[in-house]
Structure formats: C-alpha cells, structure tokens
Amino acid sequence: MTKLRVDFFSISLDGYGAGPNQSFDSPLGVGGEALHDWFVVTRSFHQVAGQDGGETGVDDDFAARGAENLGAFIMGRNMFGPPQGGDWSDDTWKGWWGDNPPYHAPVFVLTHYPRAPITMEGGTTFHFVTDGIHAALKRATEAAHGKDIRLAGGVATIRQYLQAGLIDQMHLAIAPIMLGSGESLLSGIDTLKLGYVLTEHVQTAKATHIVLTKRT
C-alpha cells in the first residue's frame, strides 16, 4: 500500500524548518543551511551528490531509509524555485538541482500557476499541480505504482498535508541549533489529536531523530 512519507526533514531545537529572510541566495533563510549539517556528511548524501566517501552510522542509516521504496514525490512551489516565486513568465527555471535532479521519478509541484511538465535527465519529470494537495496526492499515488511517495517540503506544504491528516509517517531530524524565527513546522498543530504517535527516537552527536506514525 502506498504511503505518504516525510523523510530526513530537519528542524531546529526551536521548531523551525527554515530560518528568517529566505531569498534566492539563502533559500533556507538565515542560518537554515546548518539544519542539514548532519545529513550532508553522510555516505547516502555523498552518493546522491556523485561524491565518494561520507560517514556511516545512525545518521546515514536514517538517510538511506529515506531513499527506499519511492515511486513519486510532492513538493511546494517554493521548494522547486526561489521563495516568493510568482507566475512562470521566466520558464527557464528548472529547479535548484541542475540537469539531473536527485529524484529519478515523477515530482508533483504545488503551484497557483499552470506550467507544462518538464522532463529532466535521470528519469525526473516535474508536473505542476494547480488544484490543491488532494489532487497532487491522487496523481502521485497513481504515478508511484504501489511504491511510497515522499513529501519533500517545504514547511508550508508539509503543514498542509499534516493538518489534513494525510501523512502516514514523518521522520524529523532535530538539529542542535536555534534559529529564533523563520518557518515553524508544528506550531499550532495538535499532532496527538490528528492521531500521530512517536514510534522511534534516536539521538546522535549531530541530530535527534524522531519518527511520528499515524495510527490506523
């Protein structure tokens, strides 16, 4: 059965998934890049980036798990492109990842503005969905052919799916930093009322990993 998952999504100790003042040059906001310090040193990240080496251990185990059994992805407009992006008058933008994005599967981008699909190298095709989160999930489920779907982010998109109770499992990596302000992931969301329970909790030197699973 296809599940909607959040994998290796990093937040700060004070609950922010991105820092303040997001921009083209600082898409994760001031200080936001440090959220992923635990991830970028893992062997799994190095492999995706086409690099040798990388650290093994618990952090890498969680990173590797996040890449398993995936058939499609969903992301928000601001994850695909620069923050506060408007319409697609500049249709040269094809994402942050170059000609061969790391998805290698259909990716459904939530947006208010229609745009034709973009086929990239390596099996990634970006599809732009203008009729909401449920429509994107339906299309992604069909495209996944029984495999799981990763909800890639950003914060606002995850919050929408979480508030709708549509996420089956969510792995959060809590980085040992404070951002002070930015985009809060869980503020105002009653995860217990929505049926989510803590099913894993592992601490390493670089992050505290928690897994929230929705009760069936």
| Partner residues linked to 148 by β-bridges | 70
Total domain count for the chain? Answer: 1
Under DSSP, is residue 206 helix (H, G, I), strand (E, B) or coil?
coil
pLDDT surpasses 90 at 69: yes
The candidate with the shortest Cα–Cα distance to 67, out of 148, 143, 132, is 148
Angle, in degrees to the nearest 10, between helices 155-163 and 133-144: 90
- Binned at pLDDT 50, 70 and 90, residue 166 comes out as very high
Q: What is the mean pLDDT of residues 87-116?
A: 92
Residue 46 in any domain: the answer is: yes
Q: Write down the pLDDT at residue 84.
A: 65
Residue 98 in any domain: the answer is: no
Residue 188 in any domain: the answer is: yes
Other Cβ atoms within 10 Å of 92 Cβ, number: 5
- Binned at pLDDT 50, 70 and 90, residue 7 comes out as very high
Residue 101 in any domain: the answer is: no
Residue 118 in any domain: the answer is: no
Residue 121 in any domain: the answer is: no
- Binned at pLDDT 50, 70 and 90, residue 196 comes out as very high
User: Are the C-beta atoms of 138 and 119 separated by less than 8 Å?
Assistant: no
Structural domain boundaries, residue 194: 4-19+30-77+133-214
pLDDT surpasses 90 at 90: no
Residue 125 in any domain: the answer is: no
Q: Write down the pLDDT at residue 50.
A: 85
Residue 169 in any domain: the answer is: yes
Q: Write down the pLDDT at residue 88.
A: 85
CATH number at residue 72: 3.40.430.10
